[in-house]
């Protein structure tokens, strides 16, 4: 399964989570808490450095009913986008 889905610059995030210093599991935990505060249709932007987050965010979205919109390489980190279901 290919987890890489590049997004364009047109996505507007409702909330931003800085997870650049967190490993994949901690980033996922923080993302769950943050997205829980959003309403359906809002987008969470997660800035992270752990490449394993790509797989973890995809799997979590499949199980939770949220939509993994994709990611954007920002050179020193990855910007992930998740839309609350």
Could you read off the pLDDT of 22-81 as tens digits, one per residue?
A: 999 999 999 999 999 999 999 999 999 999 999 999 999 999 999 999 999 999 999 999
78 falls within a domain: yes
**E-only strand ranges, the chain:** 15-19, 43-48, 67-73, 78-83
72 falls within a domain: yes
Confidence label for 20 from pLDDT (cuts 50, 70 and 90):
very high
The SS3 of residue 23 is coil
Residues 6+ apart with CB under 8 A from 59: none
62 falls within a domain: yes
**What total number of domains does the chain contain?**
1
- List the CATH number of the domain containing 61: 3.30.110.40
* Domain, as residue range, for 70: 15-83
4 falls within a domain: no
Cβ neighbours around 27 below 10 Å, total:
25
**Which residue from 59, 58, 48, 3 is spatially nearest to 26, judged by alpha carbons?**
48
59 falls within a domain: yes
**Contact between residue 84 and residue 40 where contact means Cβ atoms under 8 Å apart:** yes
Query: In the predicted model, is pLDDT for residue 3 greater than 60?
Result: no
Confidence label for 6 from pLDDT (cuts 50, 70 and 90):
low
Residues 6+ apart with CB under 8 A from 55: 3
């Amino acid at each position: 399964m290919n987890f890489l889905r590049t997004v364009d610059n047109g996505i507007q995030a409702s909330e931003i989570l800085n997870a650049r210093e967190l490993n994949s599991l901690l980033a996922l935990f923080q993302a769950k808490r943050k997205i829980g505060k959003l309403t359906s249709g809002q987008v969470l932007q997660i800035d992270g450095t752990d490449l394993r987050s790509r797989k973890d965010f995809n799997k979590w979205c499949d199980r939770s009913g949220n939509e993994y919109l994709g990611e954007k390489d920002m050179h020193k980190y990855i910007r992930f986008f998740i839309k609350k279901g």
